[in-house]
Chain A
Amino acid sequence: MKAPHETTCLVVDDSAVIRKVARRIIEALGMNVSEAEDGSAALEACAANMPDAILLDWNMPNMDGYTFLQALRRSEGGAAPKVLFCTTENDVGAIARALRAGADEYIMKPFDRDILAAKLEQVGLVADAA
């Protein structure tokens, strides 16, 4: 496992408030954070610099999170990042669909620091987050 300060997390959400909250939590866990406000901006960011983790909203303008994930997993190097959906799409059908598309974890909004830390630990990016 890389040390947290060597890992990067791309936060993809059209809400600036959510991006700010997530950034604060993830930076406090020691990771580096960058942001994108929709799926197409996230694809460009990944093409330039593939992150270790992606925190991904579902419903966004231009390109939604689900479409982004499918495109990411087909792209060069796109199998590597751990993708954590972070969305209000909280029904079991959406979760199953996201997992089939290649998501590693799933966070149901609203979330808090403990949930985000636990999920990043779950995918092996943060050690002993509790």
Chain B
Amino acid sequence: MTELEFEYLRTFLKQRSGLALTAEKRYLVESRLTPVCRRFGIATLGELIGSLKLGQDGAIERAVVEAMTTNETFFFRDRIPFDLFRDTILPEALARNASKRRLRIWCAAASTGQEPYSLAMLLQEAGPRLAGWQVEIVATDLSTEVIEKAKLGLYSHFEVQRGLPVQWLIKYFTQVGEQWQIAQSLRSMVDYRQLNLLHSFASLGQFDVIYCRNVLIYFDAPTKSDVLARLAAQLAPGGALLLGAAETVIGLTDRLSPNPKQRGLYGHAEPVGRASEMAAPLRVAAGI
């Protein structure tokens, strides 16, 4: 691939998905796009870029965006965001919403479903505390391909062994040949939708909890600011936003602020003088 072709690909990805493909990530191009070439019977990466330039094949364009933006994920990834959900975020949300008995959660970069299903398992474990509640998990991703996989809830034995305790594997999954399928009762808890975070998501409504992890890192600063400001607008008062360990709101928006006691957890920025009210004690949990 020539420099010009790489530059074209960078611009294309930035416009289509917000992905900021840095020169250091150039090595990813070959490993991610060679399978796309094979799928469409295209001989070289140069030819693939050529077909993007022609702009006549939407299927190839979507496949390129999906291949370059699909990220690794696994159940209970990084563990702490899920310990926090179980021990702090969920109990606080249940107390806050006790009168309306409704809870809305959004996984904004749901990929192949491990994050929303991890939350669904924690909600099932919460059992009677949620009896009579209307709980909604909306899971979105840029890629229709990963959403289809997420809906099926079929995972390889490699995928179910990272992060998922074996006791939960046999409790919540059924063996289907060489694969494992997550229970229908959990699949039915998640409402999957295709969504590009660069476009408006106001129609999704407000959420008590938003997980938007490991996607902002691929955006440049102005795009991060724009997405964070719009995420703040969808976050209900008192709601919790969780970002990836390498992500922050600092210097990008004044509408959100980090929780001083827990890395990765954010809430609405409080007006001056009310800061003491947000310093609710946080318990950091042990393992799942």
- Partner pick for A118 among B157, B161, B170, B174, CB 8 A cutoff: B161
Chain B residues, CB < 8 A from A119: 161
- Taking a contact as CB atoms under 8 Å apart, the answer to whether A95 and B78 are in contact is no
B72-119: which residues lie under 8 A (CB-CB) from chain A?
A: 74, 77-78
Binds B, one of A14-22, A67-75, A99-107: A99-107
Asked whether A114 lies within 8 Å of B175 as measured between CB atoms, the reply is: no
Total number of residue pairs linking A and B with CB closer than 8 Å: 36
Q: Are B170 and A95 in contact (CB under 8 A)?
A: yes
> Is B35 part of the binding interface, using a Cβ–Cβ cutoff of 8 Å?
no
Judge whether A124 and B166 touch: CB under 8 Å: no
Interface residue B62 (Cβ < 8 Å from any Cβ of A): no
Question: Which secondary structure dominates chain B's binding surface?
Answer: loop
Confirm or deny: A3 has a beta carbon within 8 angstroms of a beta carbon on chain B. no
Instruction: Give the docked Cα–Cα distance between A112 and B74 (Å).
Output: 15
CB-CB under 8 A from A96, the residues of chain B are 170
Interface range on chain A: under 10, 10 to 19, 20 to 34, or 35 or more?
Answer: 10 to 19
Determine the distance from Cα of A107 to Cα of B78 in the docked complex, in whole angstroms.
20
Q: A122-B287, A124-B287, A130-B78 are in contact. Are A90 and B165 (CB under 8 A)?
A: no
- Judging by beta carbons under 8 Å apart, are B170 and A92 in contact? yes
Q: Is B149 an interface residue (CB 8 A)?
A: no
Judge whether A106 and B162 touch: CB under 8 Å.
Answer: no
Known contacts A90-B157, A124-B287, A114 near B166 by CB under 8 Å: no
Given A106-B166, A124-B287, A112–B158 Cβ distance below 8 Å?
A: yes
The yes or no answer to A47 lying at the interface (CB within 8 A) is: no
Digitize A97-130: 1 where CB-to-B-CB distance is under 8 Å, 0 elsewhere.
0010000011110011011001100101000001
B258 at the interface (CB under 8 A from A): no
Q: A6 in the interface, Cβ–Cβ < 8 Å?
A: no
Does any Cβ of B come within 8 Å of A91's Cβ? yes
Residue of B nearest to A90 (CB): B157
Whether the Cβ atoms of A118 and B166 lie closer than 8 Å is no
Q: How far is the CA of A84 from the CA of B77 in the complex (A)?
A: 21
Query: Which residues of A are found within 8 Å of B165, using beta-carbon distances?
Result: 105, 122
Cβ-defined contact, A92 with B158, below 8 A: no
CB proximity to A under 8 Å, residues B141-181: 157-158, 161-163, 165-167, 169-170, 174-175
A105 in complex: contacting residue of B74, B166, B170, B174, CB < 8 Å:
B166
Contact residues in B for A91 (Cβ distance below 8 Å): 175
CA distance A119 to B160 in the complex (A): 11
When distances are taken between beta carbons in the complex, the residues of chain A under 8 Å from B167 are 99
B residues within 8 A CB of A118? 74, 161-163
| New A-B contacts (5) at CB < 8 Å, excluding given A99-B167, A122-B165, A130-B77 | A92-B174, A112-B158, A118-B162, A124-B287, A130-B78
Interface residues of A (CB under 8 A from B): 90-92, 95-96, 99, 105-108, 111-112, 114-115, 118-119, 122, 124, 130
5 contacts between A and B (CB under 8 A): A92-B175, A95-B169, A99-B166, A115-B161, A122-B287
Q: Top 5 closest A-B pairs, CB basis? A: A106-B166, A118-B162, A115-B161, A108-B157, A92-B175
